[in-house]
Structure 1
Amino acid sequence: MSLVFALAIYFIIWWIVLFAMLPIGVRTTEEAGEKSSPGFAESAPHRPRLLPKMLATTVVSAIVFAGVYAVIVHKVIKIDDIPFFPRYEAVQESR
């Protein structure tokens, strides 16, 4: 696996995990017990806490990437190990 490919895979995993982490622990201003300011949507997060979420995303993404790396490079799981993939027989050319 080349470095550029590894970085691209990590970047994709990081973004997917970030979007999964964003709604965790989010409360609206009303849920926080305060009055909404004019000009803001009522559903806007009161304190989104983006930095801790980005740090948690980085850690979780590193763990997921380690698994993907093991599957791709060290072939921990092979295609034949996946039970629902169809099995194709080698076709021999007749002459």
Structure 2
Amino acid sequence: MQLTSIIAIYLLFWVMSAFVLLPFGVRTADEAGVEKVPGQADSAPINFRPWRIAWRATILSAVLCALYVANFIEGWVTVDDINIFGTPPGYE
């Protein structure tokens, strides 16, 4: 696997991880017991910290990318392992 492929896979994992981690650790004004600003949405976060989300996404995507590359090299899980329907008829 080339370095550019690993970087592209890492970036895909990073974006996916960032979106998955967005709702964790965020509280609304109602949950925090803080008065809302007029016009503020009920679901607006009161303690949004984008750098913390980016840091967590970096760590999670590094682990996921390392597992992906290790699986690519070692061949732990292959296409044949996840083929639950078997070979299609007439495709032997």
Q: Which residue of 2 aligns with 1:71?
A: 71
Residue 44, structure 1, aligned to residue 44, structure 2: yes
Q: Which amino acid aligns with 1:46?
A: I
Residue 22, structure 1, aligned to residue 22, structure 2: yes
Q: Percent identity?
A: 35
Shift of 1:82: 2.8
Change over 3 Å in CA distance of 1:82–1:56 after alignment to 2: same
Q: What SS is found at the alignment partner of 1:30? A: helix
Q: TM-score, normalised by structure 2?
A: 0.82
Runs of at least 5 residues in structure 2 that lack an aligned partner in the other structure: none
Distance 1:86 1:60 in 2: 33
Shift of 1:53: 1.8
How many residues matched? 91
Q: Which residue of 2 aligns with 1:5?
A: 5
Rg comparison, structure with higher value: 1
Deviations 1:21-68 (A, max 9, x none): 110021111211111112432211001122122111111111111111
Q: What SS is found at the alignment partner of 1:45? A: coil
Distance 2:91 2:44 in 1: 57
Q: Which amino acid aligns with 2:14?
A: W
Q: Which amino acid aligns with 1:81?
A: D
Distance 1:36 1:7 in 2: 42
Runs of at least 5 residues in structure 1 that lack an aligned partner in the other structure: none
Q: Which residue of 2 aligns with 1:57?
A: 57
Q: TM-score, normalised by structure 1?
A: 0.79
